[in-house]
Amino acid sequence: MKGIMPTRDAQRLADQQGLDLVEVSPNAEPPVCKIMDYGKFRYEESIKRKQARKNQKTTQIKEVKFHASVDTNDLNHKLRQMKEFLADGHKVKVTLQYRGRENAHKELGMDVVNRVIQECSAEAVVEQTPKLIGRTLGCMLAPRPAKAGSGSQPAKPAAPAVAPSRPAPAAPAPAASEAVEAAPVQ
């Protein structure tokens, strides 16, 4: 900390040390400068940017397609896949394509999409409500945000409060263990 000084004096100090005078905060009054090796500073900043990009989590949009006449087993299989995608943190685009005479019964497709939304309600929130565009009914599901107190891990379920079927073994008396600790070592 050299304090406030004219720019020429600060530049002279930097030249004497073989370093650069770098303006750190130009909007401050007066502007704040540092004497440092500018090449090394730029290198460290690039390393920090690369590390931030490496640690950045990317979310993908996975698409799951249905038809209005989907069978129960097919629906259950796709629901399991969707729950896995949501657990991995990906968004899921649900699309339902109407074919042939299914166009006359749009409510059947809406029932399927509503069932999908209902089944995934524990893992996902509806980001985009179901919309009919041409022959395609689509909506977007996003994973539920993590609770603030739980961190990135989901909360573990508590142990059930059931009485044990057999009595637990008796613990040793505390007085005996205290006597052992208090005895002098010879």
**Segments of the chain assigned to CATH 3.30.110.10:** 61-143
Q: In a 3-state reduction of DSSP, which class is residue 25?
A: strand
Q: In a 3-state reduction of DSSP, which class is residue 176?
A: helix
In order, the DSSP letters of 119-131 are HTTTTEEEEEEEE
d(CA 140, CA 62) in angstroms, rounded, equals 10
Predicted confidence (pLDDT) per residue in 70-110, tens digit = 999 999 999 999 999 999 889 999 999 999 888 888 899 99
Average pLDDT over residues 5-26: 90
Predicted confidence (pLDDT) per residue in 111-157, tens digit = 999 999 999 999 999 999 999 999 999 999 999 887 755 544 444 44
* CATH tag for 7-55 (out of 3.40.1350.10, 3.30.470.10, 3.10.20.80, 1.10.760.10): 3.10.20.80
Which amino acid type is present at position 64? Answer: V
**Segments of the chain assigned to CATH 3.10.20.80:** 7-55
Confidence of residue 166 (pLDDT cuts 50, 70, 90): very low
d(CA 106, CA 98) in angstroms, rounded, equals 8
Return the number of other C-beta atoms located less than 10 Å from residue 90's C-beta: 17
CATH code for the structural domain at 61-143: 3.30.110.10
What pLDDT shows up at residue 57? 77
In order, the DSSP letters of 18-49 are T-EEEEEETTSSSPEEEEE-HHHHHHHHHHHH
